[in-house]
């Protein structure tokens, strides 16, 4: 299986991206990063303005991967049991008994839309599921299906009535993906596709078993020592004295960069991690882990600019 | 197909043997330059005049010094050779191996489908790797040529030193100049720039070493214009020649010293002179002070 999956991995990724491209116009980097998060068996946080096809993108990916997809619209009154599931009383043959009704978190790909609108208690329940890949209701623990991937979204505007995720919880997301407005050509294509009677559809190109195999292969991608050291130095540089950074990234970020770089290398059809992979993945891995100082925020600096500076200076 | 590790080992050995050759070429070139310089400056002669024990043969010292300096210089020039990252060199010369070779090498003990595929690719690509590409033949040949030129130059200078070598008497004069020893007037160029035929008469303590007139003749009368200095002052002349330094009697100024209970530094003698003489002496002193 490994041999077959590996030898056909280049074709798999090409087919997958082509298939997703039938529905999602542009957003290549965001799609690639979502795929990377899935390959790393981790989770991603997406930040974008409304209407940029976050839900469409992730649902399309789940269809192309032949995975079960659930969507949770987070609101302040959303309860933890609304996510994890709860026991219900069921009448079977005149005998009443409790039965566990799994919540939407029991899926392979879960879209937690506007996670910052959920209460901290609900956020915690979801983040626990993310970390442990299991849910405990009452005295019983239920394992979540594999692969398990949560894509949480945040809206950068309309911050009123939201509960911003604490830094410690943000750290659990491998990547923070930014989705930007499409180019004129892409928007023209979007209009052409979605103003006709025929809605673009997607077919499954990868099986669940293949996804799991690809996740395993990701960790097998070798990395050279000096490239590994570069990744660690980049993360270390965020903790070093830097006038723009209030708090730097944790060692989890070092693991994240290397793992994401391995997944990127596999997606690009390479059997080794390149320096280019490390530099490319430093942005989505670090941008939610680095907290800028008030002064740099006042100057209008972004975390991506600070990361770019770090990448330039790390040898 | 040869394993990439064996090929890497061979390439590394080939590269370092070439580096050693370059080291020896540099050593010979530096030695040649130094030995030629030592021959030109006649180091043998200089050493023979120094206080080196006679048990040490003088003629082996210049080549010994040259080889020691050459060895130290070459070692310093090539001190980073051992730290050369051959993998990085190969990757720079062969772009298809960039990052691949170092990754395969760092993961040489690991085995999985991806690492194995990388190792296979690297092993195949390594067949074209040659140490001569890392340290080009052209560079080595040019080094050999330069070394041969220096060697030939050194051989020519050491076999035909006449006309090139600094003469022994020049070296003697230079030595004396540097050591501050007494110079004798051999008629050769005075390296200090002091004119040879200076009037040294009455030199000590007079403050006039270049023979400026000390006796003024006014209306047929000679007047001594010597400025007397105080004790322990004046100019010491290094090229003092006793034959030219005989005391000359002056008719105008008696040599007999008149005893005085109190030394007035020549004031009373000055006061004894006429007003014209005093003015002339004063004018002379003023003029001298301007020089």
Assess if residue B173 is contained within a domain.
no
**pLDDT at residue B234 greater than cutoff 60:** no
Q: Which of B99, B114, B121 sits opposite A6 (nearest CB)?
A: B114
**pLDDT tens digits, one per residue of A198-238:** 777 888 888 888 889 899 999 999 999 999 999 999 999 99
**pLDDT tens digits, one per residue of A302-312:** 999 999 999 99
Q: B74 vs chain A: nearest CA distance in angstroms? A: 30
**pLDDT tens digits, one per residue of A37-86:** 999 999 999 988 888 888 888 888 888 888 899 999 988 899 988 988 98
**pLDDT tens digits, one per residue of B76-85:** 988 888 788 8
Considering the domain architecture, whether residues B159 and B220 belong to the same structural domain is answered as no
% of chain A surpassing 90 pLDDT: 31
Q: Which of A6, A221, A226 sits opposite B102 (nearest CB)?
A: A226
Considering the domain architecture, whether residues B16 and B96 belong to the same structural domain is answered as yes
Query: Which pLDDT score is estimated for B199?
Result: 46
B110 and A222: CB-CB below 8 Å? yes
Q: A231 vs chain B: nearest CA distance in angstroms? A: 15
| Nearest residue in A to B118, CA atom | A271
Assess if residue B141 is contained within a domain.
yes
Of B132, B148, B166, the position where a domain reaches its end is B166
Query: Which pLDDT score is estimated for B238?
Result: 52
Task: Look over chain A and give the mean of its residue pLDDT values, rounded to a whole number.
Answer: 88
Q: Look-up: residue for tokens 């020039």?
A: B77
**pLDDT at residue A299 greater than cutoff 60:** yes
Which residues of chain A make contact with B106, given a CB cutoff of 8 A? Answer: 222-225
Q: Which domains does chain A have, with CATH numbers?
A: 1-77+107-196 (3.40.50.300), 221-315 (1.10.8.80)
Considering the domain architecture, whether residues B8 and B144 belong to the same structural domain is answered as yes
Q: What is the pTM of this model?
A: 0.71
**A166 and chain B in contact, CB less than 8 A:** no
**A273 and chain B in contact, CB less than 8 A:** yes
Assess if residue B203 is contained within a domain.
no
**pLDDT at residue A12 greater than cutoff 70:** yes
**pLDDT at residue B176 greater than cutoff 80:** no
> Of residues A107 and B179, which shows the higher confidence score?
A107
Considering the domain architecture, whether residues B30 and B132 belong to the same structural domain is answered as yes
> Of residues A35 and B265, which shows the higher confidence score?
A35
Assess if residue B276 is contained within a domain.
yes
For residue B276, give its domain range. 215-290
Q: What is the 3-state composition of chain A as percent helix, strand, coil, each rounded to the nearest 5?
A: 50, 15, 35
Considering the domain architecture, whether residues B224 and B152 belong to the same structural domain is answered as no
| Nearest residue in B to A228, CA atom | B103
pLDDT band at A1 (very low <50, low <70, confident <90, very high): low
**pLDDT at residue A296 greater than cutoff 60:** yes
B106 and A2: CB-CB below 8 Å? no
Considering the domain architecture, whether residues B107 and B234 belong to the same structural domain is answered as no
Which residues of chain B make contact with A271, given a CB cutoff of 8 A? Answer: 114-115, 117-118, 121
Assess if residue B187 is contained within a domain.
no
Assess if residue B210 is contained within a domain.
no
pLDDT band at A154 (very low <50, low <70, confident <90, very high): confident
A222 and B121: CB-CB below 8 Å? no
Which residues of chain A make contact with B103, given a CB cutoff of 8 A? Answer: 222-224, 227, 272-273
Query: Which pLDDT score is estimated for B102?
Result: 92
pLDDT band at B229 (very low <50, low <70, confident <90, very high): low
Considering the domain architecture, whether residues B115 and B8 belong to the same structural domain is answered as yes
A 10 A CB-CB count for A99 gives 9
pLDDT average, residue stretch A3-18 = 82
Query: Which pLDDT score is estimated for A221?
Result: 93
What is the C-alpha separation between B51 and A91, in angstroms, rounded? 119
Considering the domain architecture, whether residues B148 and B221 belong to the same structural domain is answered as no
| Nearest residue in A to B103, CA atom | A224
Q: A145 vs chain B: nearest CA distance in angstroms? A: 27
Query: Which pLDDT score is estimated for B273?
Result: 83
**How many domains is chain B partitioned into structurally?**
2
**A224 and chain B in contact, CB less than 8 A:** yes
pLDDT average, residue stretch B36-43 = 86
Query: Which pLDDT score is estimated for B205?
Result: 46
Interface confidence, given as ipTM, is: 0.82
pLDDT band at B189 (very low <50, low <70, confident <90, very high): very low
pLDDT band at B247 (very low <50, low <70, confident <90, very high): low
* Out of A96-110, A264-278, B254-268, least confident range: B254-268
**pLDDT at residue B48 greater than cutoff 50:** yes
A272 and B110: CB-CB below 8 Å? no
Assess if residue B282 is contained within a domain.
yes
Largest CA distance in chain A: 73
**pLDDT tens digits, one per residue of A56-66:** 888 888 888 88
**pLDDT tens digits, one per residue of B252-265:** 655 555 555 556 66
**A160 and chain B in contact, CB less than 8 A:** no
């Amino acid at each position: 299986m490994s041999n077959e999956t590996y030898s056909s991995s280049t074709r798999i990724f090409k087919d997958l991206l082509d298939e997703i491209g039938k529905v999602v116009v542009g957003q290549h980097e965001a799609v690639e990063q979502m795929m990377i998060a899935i390959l790393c068996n981790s989770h991603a946080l997406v930040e974008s303005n409304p209407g940029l096809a976050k839900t469409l993108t992730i649902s399309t990916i789940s269809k192309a991967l032949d995975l079960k997809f659930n969507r949770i619209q987070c609101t302040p009154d959303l309860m933890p049991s609304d996510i994890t599931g709860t026991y219900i009383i069921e009448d079977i043959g005149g005998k009443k008994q409790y039965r566990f009704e799994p919540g939407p978190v029991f899926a392979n790909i879960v879209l937690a839309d506007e996670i910052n609108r959920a209460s901290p208690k609900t956020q915690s329940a979801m983040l626990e599921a993310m970390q442990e890949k299991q849910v405990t209701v009452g005295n019983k623990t239920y394992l979540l299906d594999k692969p398990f991937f949560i894509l949480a979204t945040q809206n950068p505007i309309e911050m009123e009535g939201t509960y911003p995720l604490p830094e410690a919880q943000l750290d659990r997301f491998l990547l923070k993906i930014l989705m930007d407005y499409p180019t004129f050509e892409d928007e023209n294509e979007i209009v052409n596709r979605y103003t006709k009677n025929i809605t673009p559809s997607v077919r499954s190109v990868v099986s669940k078993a293949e996804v799991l195999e690809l996740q395993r292969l990701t960790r097998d991608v070798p990395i050279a020592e000096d490239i590994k050291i570069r990744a660690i130095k980049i993360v270390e540089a965020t903790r070093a004295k830097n006038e723009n950074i209030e708090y730097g990234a944790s060692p989890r970020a070092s693991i994240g960069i290397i793992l994401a770089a391995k997944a990127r290398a596999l997606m690009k059809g390479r059997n080794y991690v390149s320096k280019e992979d490390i530099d490319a993945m430093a942005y989505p891995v670090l941008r939610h882990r680095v907290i800028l100082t008030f002064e740099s925020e006042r100057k209008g600096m972004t975390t991506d600019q600070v990361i770019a500076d770090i990448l330039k200076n790390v040898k | 197909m040869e394993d990439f590790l064996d090929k890497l080992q061979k390439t590394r050995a080939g590269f370092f043997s070439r580096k050693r050759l370059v080291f020896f070429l540099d050593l010979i070139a530096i030695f040649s330059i130094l030995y030629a310089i030592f021959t030109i400056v006649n180091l043998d002669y200089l050493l023979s005049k120094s206080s080196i024990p006679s048990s040490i043969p003088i003629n082996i010292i210049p080549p010994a010094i040259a080889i020691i300096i050459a060895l130290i210089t070459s070692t310093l020039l090539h001190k980073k050779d051992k730290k050369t990252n051959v993998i990085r060199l190969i990757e720079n010369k062969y772009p298809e191996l960039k990052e691949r070779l170092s990754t395969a090498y760092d993961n040489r003990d690991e085995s999985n489908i991806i690492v194995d595929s990388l190792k296979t690719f690297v092993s195949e690509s390594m067949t074209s790797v040659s140490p001569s590409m890392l340290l080009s033949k052209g560079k080595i040949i040019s080094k050999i040529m330069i070394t041969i030129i220096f060697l030939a130059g050194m051989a020519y200078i050491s076999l035909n030193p006449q006309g090139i070598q600094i003469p022994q008497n020049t070296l003697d004069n230079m030595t004396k100049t540097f050591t501050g020893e007494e110079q004798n007037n051999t008629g050769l160029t005075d390296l200090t720039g002091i004119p040879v035929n200076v009037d040294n008469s009455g030199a000590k303590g007079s403050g006039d070493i270049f023979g400026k007139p000390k006796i003024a003749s006014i209306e047929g009368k000679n007047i001594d214009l010597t400025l007397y200095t105080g004790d322990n002052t004046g100019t010491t002349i290094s090229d003092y020649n006793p034959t030219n330094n005989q005391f000359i009697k002056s008719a105008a100024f008696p040599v007999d010293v008149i005893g005085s209970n109190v030394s007035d530094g020549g004031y009373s003698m000055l006061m004894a002179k006429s007003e014209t003489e005093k003015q002339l002496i004063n004018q002379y002193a003023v003029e001298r002070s301007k020089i």
